[in-house]
Amino acid sequence: MEDYQAAFLERYYDTEILHKSERKIAAIHFGCITIECLLKAIIFATLPNSATKEWKTDNNNPGHTFTNPGHSYIKALKQHNKLRYRIEKNPQVREWLDKVENPIGQNFIDIRYCAIEADNINYESWFTTYTKLIRWLQKQATIL
């Protein structure tokens, strides 16, 4: 069984180390996975106590209807109405999500095969946005 909260913390620390080492593409990739884990942790935190913290599949009924959104932030948000509503009401956060999920002009999953480092201006802009998004999501997690 996945532990998205623990994975979020581990990927957060991995991203910090990569950032300090100026491993920009790896930091972006892991940073985006960090956000993915945080979104999934927020979803699982809303499950009723009687539900199992597993994704619903054709062969598994864990007591809820959430299916694994994969690496898509949009699919994850579709499974959490309150969080999605807060984001829809805040265009700045929606921009942050788009910028973090699609750094350097392509989806974060695809950049893992990129052998060229991101330029400093785009990277620093991405990292600043990533940091703001994490803070905002963590705040939401405490009040949802």
The domain limits of the chain are 4-50+70-143
Tokens of 61: 């009924």
Distances (CA, A) of 51 to 45, 46, 56, 98: 11, 10, 10, 31
| Mean pLDDT of the residues in the chain | 93
Average pLDDT rounded to a whole number, residues 73-93 = 95
Distances (CA, A) of 79 to 85, 111, 112: 11, 26, 26
Confidence at residue 105, expressed as pLDDT on a 0 to 100 scale: 83
87 Cβ partners below 8 Å, 6+ apart? 77, 93, 94, 97
Amino acid residing at 61? N
Confidence at residue 125, expressed as pLDDT on a 0 to 100 scale: 95
Confidence at residue 99, expressed as pLDDT on a 0 to 100 scale: 95
Asked if the model's pLDDT at residue 87 lies above 90, the reply is yes
Higher pLDDT, 19 or 115: 19
Average pLDDT rounded to a whole number, residues 118-127 = 92
Asked if the model's pLDDT at residue 78 lies above 80, the reply is yes
Confidence at residue 116, expressed as pLDDT on a 0 to 100 scale: 80
Average pLDDT rounded to a whole number, residues 27-33 = 96
Asked if the model's pLDDT at residue 11 lies above 80, the reply is yes
Q: What is the pLDDT of residues 134-143, one digit of tens each?
A: 999 999 999 9
**Phi, then psi, of 60 in degrees rounded to 5:** -135, 120
